[in-house]
Structure 1
Amino acid sequence: MLDQLLSAIPPEALNLGLVLFLSFLIGLEREELKRGGKRVFGGVRTFPLLGLVGYVVSLLSGGNLFGMLLGFLVVGAFMLVSYLHKLQQTTEAGITTELSGLLVYLVGALVYTGHLWFACTLVVVSLLLLELKEALEGLTQRIRPEEVAAFTKFLLLSAVILPMVPNRDLGPFRINPFKTWLVVVAVSGVSYASYVLLKAFKDRGGIFLSAILGGFYSSTVITVVLAKRAAAGQRPHEYTGGIVVASAAMYLKILALVWMFNRDLALTLAPWFLILAAISALGGWFVYRLHDPEATDTPEAAHPHNPLELRAAFFFAAVFVVMLIVTQLAITYLGRNGVYSVAGLMGLTDVTPFIMGMTHAAGVSTSLHLAACSIAVSAASNNLVKGFYAYGFAKGRTGLWSLGLLGGLTLLGLLPLIWL
């Protein structure tokens, strides 16, 4: 019955109804400004008329682009007159309403040409932008210029540089520049995402939340930052708990990065790494919740620097290539024990380049078993190094407890060597 009724209605009538409805929604939103005492162009009558103009001009021109463009220019001239008139009344006049009028004209043209989904989506997005004016303007006040520059750098790394890098193996070590830079983008993306969350939750959630998010940024960096803060405070339990829980985030970050490039290796590591992450998180939370009776200061959360620096990205790419070469040489000439030794030494610095190197080598130049064990050794070694960092920078109870707990986590992290 409904199908028969719809078939009896001319298609033009349905299109006109849709144009009127979509245009009316924009006009209704603009009508609210009049109720607020502002003098603006158009409302619930003018905007539907503009939509009809767009549809009729497209109909009369037979969908010809020149005819629709000519109508757009005429409507644009009216919008310009309206804007100039507003400027004579106030220097703070906005052009949002006039742009909405041009958009409504385009909605009529889109409906005529059959782009119904796009016309509806365009109106919905426009309504959101118009209604969220205060929220969006408040966002511009909260976002600093350096944050915009940082996001621009990420777009440069991912959307500009990456497509230009050749995707083929080069040299005797078969280094693929595209895959190398893809690793840089992935690592930078994870670190930048955690950095953005840290900024968003600044001064909320205390040390514990900043330690979790900072662990995804860099567990080594966050350990050093918290240890230095602990040296000047009287909250050993809170800072120790934060340092331990950062290692939980490290294990999850490693799994996420490995999963992006080698699913089989990630599945091999997942059971034990998830257990280690749970032990670190629960242990850190338990220590964090213990009372510090001598605490008189206010705990200060950690706020690392922005990770998106082009110099750091290129440096990471160079280190990653070196790690790929070192890994292949160690596998070829040193055997299993040699690879484990390299993995242990990598714990003294940033383990990410070595781990990503093993991720690419797993299943190609080495076995999944050796790659998984090497990653476990490097993560365990890094925990021990962080323990000594905490002991050196924090001193006192925070340094001693952190060294003991991270030392225990190091021993647990080596247990996979028995069964992996």
Structure 2
Amino acid sequence: MELALFQILGISLGLGLLVGLQRQHDQSELAGIRTFPIITMFGTICALLAQNFGGWIIAMGLVSLAGLVVVANLMKLRQPPFDVGLTTEAAALLMFAVGAYLVPGSSTVAVAVGVLVAVLLHLKEYLHRIVSKIGSKDLKGIMQLAVISLVILPILPNETYGPYGVLNPHNIWLMVVLITGIGLLGYFAYKVLGQKAGTLLGGVLGGLISSTATTVSYARRTKSSHTGSTLAAIVIFIASAVSFIRIITEVAVVAPETLATVAPPLAAVLLLMLVLGGGLYFFKDDGESQMPEQGNPAQLKTAFVFGAIYAMVILATAFARDQLGSSGLYIVAVISGLTDVDAITLSTSRLMTTGDLTHSSGWRVILVAALSNLAFKAGLAGVLGSRSVFGKVALLFGIVIAGGLLVLWLWHDHFQLPLGMFGSGE
């Protein structure tokens, strides 16, 4: 019951923040990024109370809020220099509702709401500073993510179509939402810290947004001598290491029951990358470098392109399994990994979840795709970057690919994490 209430309040908070962000960006004097979440949660609390005391509570809450708005605007008209704000008034109403809710409701939920109100009130300057760094294009990206996740996803049919019965529009778009959300998280971290980001942070953020785009950006910079080849190689390598963390995270979200078997071999390759990256970082060039400008990943066009790629990978995977057996999946993994390792990771995770692919074969398919992606990025560095950066990247990725091939050859299924950590293995 409490989980359901938290879900309702979480949606209420999220919607309030979304509208408040837009209003704050437009410099609304009446309500912004703090006031709208408070108002929204106030309405939610009133509705919860109405279940026990009747709908008149919602009506009175609406009347009270309307009265606040009217009074605030009257004061604004009479005293033009006066800066009207509703945060304190709305918070007072909400805390009144929280206090009333404590009687018939859950004390845990009430305490959580009270803490959220206090945090929102305390973070005024920090939240305003973050909003000030968001441009019009960034705001458009946020709204497009809202369309992708809250408008398109719910209306898509949750049924299978097409040859082999593997194309489920709802599941395909759910993966689009997952990948877009991960990219957007990294993008906003870049917006807050990006231009101040040094070598290490630049690689981490680049891996969250797109390790391929990071490879292209830094390789190109070595052509114009703005970035040393060692520094560029470090950032490219770190971004690729983070992409392995991203792969493991995607498996954890889509197929958590497979982690006991899938995570260890991938983590072994990741550990090799961390050791190599740490050694290279120790010998890096002096000075830090700013990150190149990054694009917002929450674009409708990008979402549709990834959705199409993911659907094609699913079809190719089903075809390969039907015509060539499990060995055909490795061909799909090599080809898919050249451009987008996320799609093959997600499709393989789905196959392991449904039981159409063993966990042992699943992690091998994913690792083959990841190694193929490393080879592709090394090629990009060679085409777009200087000879020096290509030499460093090729050497590093070559060692990792060799290590990955050894893992594919020598790793045994009994090398897995304890089953209790992530659920059952195979």
User: In 2 relative to 1, CA 79–197 (structure 1 residues): closer, same or farther, beyond 3 Å?
Assistant: closer
State the shift of 1:120 in Å: 6.9
Report the counterpart of residue 172 of structure 2 in structure 1: 180
Contact 2:197 2:290 (C-alpha < 8 Å) held by counterparts: no
Report the counterpart of residue 205 of structure 2 in structure 1: 213
The one of 224, 248, 252 aligned to 1:255: 248
Q: Secondary structure at the match of 1:202?
A: helix
Contact 1:210 1:302 (C-alpha < 8 Å) held by counterparts: no
Report the counterpart of residue 346 of structure 2 in structure 1: 356
Q: Can you list the C-alpha shifts for 1:201-229, whole angstroms capped at 9, x where unaligned?
A: 21233132111221122222211111112
What letter matches 1:177 in structure 2?
P
**CA distance, structure 1, for counterparts of residue 114 and residue 388 of structure 2:** 60
Identity among equivalent positions (%) equals: 26
Q: Matches of residues 81-92 of structure 1 in structure 2 within 5 Å? A: 84-85=74-75, 87-92=77-82
**CA distance, structure 2, for counterparts of residue 310 and residue 399 of structure 1:** 33
**CA distance, structure 1, for counterparts of residue 94 and residue 174 of structure 2:** 42
The one of 317, 326, 337 aligned to 1:347: 337
Q: Secondary structure at the match of 2:339?
A: coil
The one of 388, 393, 400 aligned to 1:397: 388
State the shift of 1:78 in Å: 8.7
Q: Matches of residues 61-140 of structure 1 in structure 2 within 5 Å? A: 80=70, 84-85=74-75, 87-96=77-86, 99-100=89-90, 103=93, 107=97, 110=100, 114=104, 126=117, 128-140=119-131
User: In 2 relative to 1, CA 82–300 (structure 1 residues): closer, same or farther, beyond 3 Å?
Assistant: closer
Query: Is 1:415–2:399 an aligned residue pair?
Result: no
**CA distance, structure 2, for counterparts of residue 358 and residue 101 of structure 1:** 47
What letter matches 2:191 in structure 1?
K
The one of 241, 251, 266 aligned to 2:259: 266
Q: Secondary structure at the match of 1:349?
A: coil
Report the counterpart of residue 219 of structure 2 in structure 1: 227
Report the counterpart of residue 28 of structure 1 in structure 2: none
User: In 2 relative to 1, CA 164–298 (structure 1 residues): closer, same or farther, beyond 3 Å?
Assistant: same
State the shift of 1:264 in Å: 4.2
Task: Show structure 2 runs of 5+ residues with no match.
Answer: 1-52, 413-426
User: In 2 relative to 1, CA 216–94 (structure 1 residues): closer, same or farther, beyond 3 Å?
Assistant: same
Report the counterpart of residue 312 of structure 1 in structure 2: 302
Q: Secondary structure at the match of 2:325?
A: helix
State the shift of 1:80 in Å: 4.4
The one of 236, 239, 242 aligned to 1:246: 239
Query: Is 1:334–2:324 an aligned residue pair?
Result: yes
User: In 2 relative to 1, CA 69–167 (structure 1 residues): closer, same or farther, beyond 3 Å?
Assistant: closer
The one of 372, 380, 399 aligned to 1:381: 372
Q: Secondary structure at the match of 2:137?
A: helix
User: In 2 relative to 1, CA 70–158 (structure 1 residues): closer, same or farther, beyond 3 Å?
Assistant: closer
Q: Can you list the C-alpha shifts for 1:79-138, whole angstroms capped at 9, x where unaligned?
A: 845753563233433042784497289549947975695777766655555554444433
How many residues align? The count is 357
Q: Can you list the C-alpha shifts for 1:252-292, whole angstroms capped at 9, x where unaligned?
A: 11111112122344332211211211221231232133153
Q: Can you list the C-alpha shifts for 1:365-402, whole angstroms capped at 9, x where unaligned?
A: 33333322221111111111211211222122111111
TM-score by length of 2: 0.73
State the shift of 1:77 in Å: 5.7
Q: Can you list the C-alpha shifts for 1:294-340, whole angstroms capped at 9, x where unaligned?
A: x7x86332332111111111121122111111111111212344332
Q: Can you list the C-alpha shifts for 1:134-162, whole angstroms capped at 9, x where unaligned?
A: 44433332222322221222222222222
**CA distance, structure 1, for counterparts of residue 330 and residue 102 of structure 2:** 67
TM-score by length of 1: 0.74
- Asked which structure has the greater CA Rg, the reply is 1
**CA distance, structure 2, for counterparts of residue 193 and residue 75 of structure 1:** 34
Contact 1:231 1:395 (C-alpha < 8 Å) held by counterparts: yes
Q: Secondary structure at the match of 2:157?
A: coil
Query: Is 1:323–2:313 an aligned residue pair?
Result: yes
**CA distance, structure 1, for counterparts of residue 359 and residue 192 of structure 2:** 38
Contact 1:373 1:417 (C-alpha < 8 Å) held by counterparts: yes
What letter matches 2:259 in structure 1?
A
Q: Secondary structure at the match of 2:174?
A: helix
State the shift of 1:170 in Å: 2.4
Greater length-normalized contact order (CA 8 Å, ≥ 6 residues apart): 2
**CA distance, structure 2, for counterparts of residue 410 and residue 384 of structure 1:** 8
What letter matches 1:217 in structure 2?
I
User: In 2 relative to 1, CA 281–204 (structure 1 residues): closer, same or farther, beyond 3 Å?
Assistant: farther
User: In 2 relative to 1, CA 243–80 (structure 1 residues): closer, same or farther, beyond 3 Å?
Assistant: closer
